[in-house]
Amino acid sequence: MSASAMSCIPELLDLSSSPLVCLEHVNIVIGEKWTEDLETFWFKVLKAAKDPRAEDIVTNTNRKRGTLHWANFGLQQVHLPCQPAGHYEKMSGMETWTNKQKIRGTIGLEWPQDKFSQLVQRLEGNFNEKVEVSDFLTSIGGITVIEKTPKTVEFLSCYGNRFRISSMAECNYIGPKYPLPPSTTPSLPGERSEGLGIRYVEYFAPKNSLKGIMDTYERVLGAKIVKFDNEKKMEVLIGSESNGQFLRFVEKDNVDPYHGDHLAIYVNDFISMYQRAKNLQVGGDVISIVWNNPCFSMKYDTLEEVERLNEFRFKDFVDLETGEVVYQLEHEIRSLKHPGFLINEETFLK
């Protein structure tokens, strides 16, 4: 690709020395069909905003997927597609994937302080006098509050997914600039959410896998990593120092099989990342970790295709000495020319 073509892709400067601009969404498949309990949990209890673009996405980009909802939290989203039972088990390398996916970890959200107590009441089933707590959202596993303090609440719901929500005295949307006050920052399409956004996702990883995870992030994405607890915990930094996001990986003795959830990140240095993912030096060999997800019609086999789509995917984290796959987590890597980022162009690029 010519230098002039590469220069057409915008970049967002003044980040925390990382090319990772922002975490945009996580994707969790939530069963064969959308239900009233799912509607209640995401849009009445958590008061996410419905994004009207979801229906068009199914039509335009994915011929194999059923119903899709996008739940907006500030400037981030949780994508909630439906998929038939047994769909993934027929696909090579995806035998552990399921149509009711559970993230191996925790989604970290932030909430306005003046709305936090009402959120906790709703999580405890007290948002509607007609609801019996014992029968509350039983089809998706109910809501189990694990820990509650004046400033945080941690709970399980939606087939065992774990959420940790923090109360914030100073309210700003989460994103690669600061400040982003909800009253004046343009929102995503649809109504405004009550929540302020996704600050982080924490993932559990098996013993002896963190080095391979870290090496893949650094070598392919050029990510900035911070290590903790004698290298048993690490964080991948995203965005600006003043309003940064992160991915946290924590080593655990027992980690569930990978269910197929994925995340999407917008990046600077997009073309170089793709080239590094296609030509990763492992031991004495060169391998590609670029991945064509068979659930989608998009293919990332050539630079021309990737430039047209402004995205590529990978899911394997490898030991750079042996080539062993030490962890799997699908990443959707997008340039700032992607339509999903350009919807925020006025906020972030001008």
Percentage of the chain modeled with pLDDT above 70: 93
Whose tokens are 């039972």? That residue is 85
Percentage of the chain modeled with pLDDT above 90: 85
Burial (CB < 10 A; 0-12, 13-18, 19+), residue 203, is buried
How many other β-carbons are positioned within 10 Å of the β-carbon of residue 285?
8
Q: Indicate the pairing of strand 20-27 with strand 152-157.
A: unpaired
pLDDT band at 6 (very low <50, low <70, confident <90, very high): low
pLDDT in tens, 53-89: 998 876 665 545 579 999 999 999 999 999 999 989 8
Range of weakest confidence among 15-19, 270-274, 296-300, 334-338: 15-19
User: In this structure, what DSSP letter does residue 78 have?
Assistant: E
The answer, yes or no, to whether residue 130 has pLDDT greater than 60, is no
Asked if 146 and 154 count as a contact pair (C-beta separation under 8 A), the reply is yes
Residue 32 CA, chain-centre distance (Å), reads 21
Q: pTM for this one?
A: 0.95
Token digits for 137?
């959202």
End-to-end Cα separation, the chain, in angstroms = 26
Q: What structural domains and CATH numbers belong to the chain?
A: 16-267+344-348 (3.10.180.10)
Q: In this structure, which amino acid lies at residue 115?
A: K
Determine the average pLDDT of the residues in 314-324: 97
pLDDT in tens, 157-180: 999 999 999 999 999 999 999 999
Handedness of CA 299, 303, 305, 307 (dihedral sign): positive
